[in-house]
Amino acid sequence: MPFGLGAAKLGSLADEELMELVDAGETRAFEVIFDRHAGAAYSLALRMCGRRALAEDIVQDAFLSLWRGGSGYDRGRGSVRSWVLGAVHNRAVDALRRAGAKSGRDVSDDGVAERLRAPEATEAEVERRDEARRVRGALDELPPDQRQVIELAYFGGLSHSQIAEVLELPPGTVKGRMRLGLTKMRSAFGEAERVAL
């Protein structure tokens, strides 16, 4: 496809065609991709982090990394929208982890004894963290399409219909992937340890 296509012509191209131009260094093609998907990306980031400024930073960082990554898009692995939202999701998770780690370090020594938890609360926290680690491990074992819908639902707070809209999939496909993924996760925990997801 030739360089120098007009804005109207670029706007009429499919995402996959635009990505071919992006791979060739066409910045205006990437601007069209940004315009098409920035709203959904921001919505996802805001749902995950709950703060507008942080959501804007996450989206900007994700799109910059996608631009710099060049040919990171693989048509065989899904739509351009799911590629973009996957990058936003990963950046949001990273930002939330950094914020959690930072808030854990921002404790002064003044009055630490009063803030120490009782042994029962500490044990409950250890159990909760252990369970979270096991859930994350089970999620990591899922195929990417099943893991993505579960993460968008449980970590992103999206409904089935919102996930279908964001990923440009039929609602039945989203529900099917969710059901398969949750079934696999439950079997990973064994029948005796049924996880209430």
Q: Are 41 and 88 in contact (CB under 8 A)?
A: yes
Pair 138, 97 in one domain: no
Pair 15, 97 in one domain: yes
Last residue of a domain, one of 78, 101, 124: 101
Pair 19, 85 in one domain: yes
The tally of domains found in the chain comes to 2
Closest CA to 14 of 168, 177, 165, 152: 168
Last residue of a domain, one of 55, 82, 101: 101
13-68: per-residue pLDDT in tens?
998 999 888 888 888 999 999 999 999 899 888 888 888 999 999 999 999 988 88
Pair 88, 141 in one domain: no
Alpha carbon distance 43, 47 (integer Å) = 6
Q: Per-residue b/e over 44-70, b at no fewer than 16 CB within 10 Å?
A: bbbbbbeeeebbeebbbbbbeebeeee
Name the 3-class secondary structure at 192.
coil
Name the 3-class secondary structure at 6.
coil
Model confidence pTM above 0.75: no
Pair 27, 89 in one domain: yes
pLDDT along the chain (197 residues), means of 10: 62 89 88 91 86 91 84 78 87 80 50 48 68 77 86 77 83 92 84 44
Pair 94, 26 in one domain: yes
CATH code of the domain in which 66 resides: 1.10.1740.10
Domain limits at 34?
Answer: 9-101
Name the 3-class secondary structure at 32.
helix
Q: What pLDDT shows up at residue 112? A: 42
